[in-house]
Structure formats: structure tokens, C-alpha cells
Amino acid sequence: MVLSKNEIKRIRSLSQKKFRDETGLFVCEGEKLVAEAVASGFRVESVYYRDEIGEEAMSRISGLSTPSPVLAVVGMPAGRGAVTPEKALEIIRKQDRSMSVPPLFLGLDGIHDPGNAGTIIRIADWFGINAVFASSGTVDIYSPKVVQATMGAVFRVKFHYTGLETLCSLLQQEGIPVFGTFLDGENIYGADLAADGPAMVVMGSESDGISRETARHTDRKLFIPSFGDSGSESLNVAVAAAISCSEFRRRCSGAR
């Protein structure tokens, strides 16, 4: 099988958000990710095998330093992209009515690093997070580096971009608690995590934390304490997300 120059150019263009948005397509690489895409019901437009197209062609379309044996071009799910804060609130309400345990949601406020974003999505999948809502300043979930970092979770986790500040304000009006991670917050291990209903946990950017605008609409500030004589100033945001999700699930899973 010989790939044309136009086909190679088209696949390579999907490394850019502009062309992903225009075509509604993205790339995933590796046998596990391609299998996950198929198993999750995503539309797989085309699949390229190294044994069929050759190593040189695969290296030209791959975004990895060491190309995988297989690469797929996959269609984004229906309803992708941004939703209004009002629509996001509706999604949360529906989840609350359908769950036997209190649903937990994540908010990503300006997460820029693809590796961190992908890892957080993987964490959300592990802890059964019902949906993830991200500010417009958060990295594109369908960028190749994010997709790779999710290890397939991108095909299972419900993810929406929205006006996070407004959504948090709407949640407050609904009486749904909004938690945020801060360096000056309350020790998460002693905090009341409102185990009898839905909750949102907001994670801030790697460099600046939660934005001032979104912070105004957080009900509770949480802090993950260090132990011993730690010289680190803060935790990696993905690590903080994992600890936060674990503590919420540990305390809230049997609340209903």
C-alpha cells in the first residue's frame, strides 16, 4: 500500500487544532488506543499499518519519536466542542438523577500541559468521574500528545469545554458545592466533602492555579498537605487531581 503525498499531508495536518476542528478528525497511535477507539464505538475513518505502508511512510505520518505499528484517523464524537454553561448544568443535573452514588465532576481551569491533561483524563476514567468540564484556555483534548497520555481514556470520559467561571456560579445557585485546590486551603483529609450529593472539583493551571474569576465561585478551598520536611512548593496538577479524586471517592462512594 502506497500513501499519496496528499494523504500524508492530510494526516500530518491533524497535528494542528485548526485542521482537527475543520475536519472533525484526530489521530491516535498504537494498538491499544486504536482498539479502544473501536471498542468505544468511535468512527474510525482509516487505519494504517506499518507492515502495509512501510516504515518510511509510517514515520512521516506518525507524531511519535518511535512510530507505533498502527495509526488510525478517528472521528470526534457527536456533540464535541464547547457547550454553554447552561447546557453543562443540564448535563450535571441528568447525571445526578441517574446515579446510585453521588456523582463527581472535574473542572480544568487553564491546564496547558498535554501530558498533565491526558493524565487527568485517565485519572477521571479510573475513578469513575461522571464528566470533565474545561475552560477555553485548557489544551485541546484531541491533540496527539493528550490522546497518547490518556492511554485510551479519551474514548470513555465525557469531556466538554465551557465557560467554567459561569458554570461554577450556576452550580452554586443550584446548591451544588464547588471545591477548588489551593495552597492556602483546608486540609482535604479533614474537610467536609459533602458526601450526600453531586460535587465539582476544580483543578487550576500548572503555573497560576485556579483563575481569580473561577476562584470567586468556589465554595471550599482544599489543600493537600505535605508530610515530613518537604522541599517541594507544590504538587504536579495531575498528582493533585488523583489524590483529590481518591479522597472524594473514598468518602463518598457509599453515601447514597
* DSSP H/E element including 92: helix 85-98
Last residue of a domain, one of 57, 75, 93: 75
CATH of the domain at 17: 3.30.1330.30
Residues 64 and 96 reside in one and the same domain: no
CB half-sphere exposure, 256, CA atoms < 13 A: 12
Per-residue pLDDT of the chain (256 residues; tens, 9 = 90+): 788 999 999 999 999 999 999 999 999 999 999 999 999 999 999 999 999 999 999 999 999 999 999 999 999 987 667 899 999 999 998 886 666 678 899 999 999 999 999 999 999 999 999 899 999 999 999 999 999 999 999 999 999 999 999 999 999 999 999 999 998 999 999 998 866 788 999 999 988 899 999 999 999 999 999 886 666 777 899 999 999 999 999 887 654 4
Distances (CA, A) of 184 to 19, 108, 173, 179: 41, 19, 25, 13
Residues 228 and 127 reside in one and the same domain: yes
Q: Cα–Cα distance between 219 and 217 in angstroms, integer?
A: 6
User: What does the CA dihedral 162, 165, 167, 172 come to, rounded to 10 degrees?
Assistant: 170
Cell for 72?
Answer: 488510525
Backbone angles phi, psi at 49, to 5 degrees: -105, 135
Residue 80 falls within a domain, yes or no? Answer: no
Residues 233 and 175 reside in one and the same domain: yes
Residue 246 falls within a domain, yes or no? Answer: yes
Q: So what's the pLDDT on residue 230?
A: 64
Q: So what's the pLDDT on residue 255?
A: 45
Q: So what's the pLDDT on residue 94?
A: 87
Residues 64 and 149 reside in one and the same domain: no
The whole domain housing 193 covers 85-252
Residues 56 and 157 reside in one and the same domain: no
Q: So what's the pLDDT on residue 96?
A: 67
Q: Cα–Cα distance between 71 and 30 in angstroms, integer?
A: 6
Residues 152 and 201 reside in one and the same domain: yes
Residues 56 and 138 reside in one and the same domain: no
Residues 89 and 70 reside in one and the same domain: no
Domain count for the chain:
2
Residues 170 and 232 reside in one and the same domain: yes
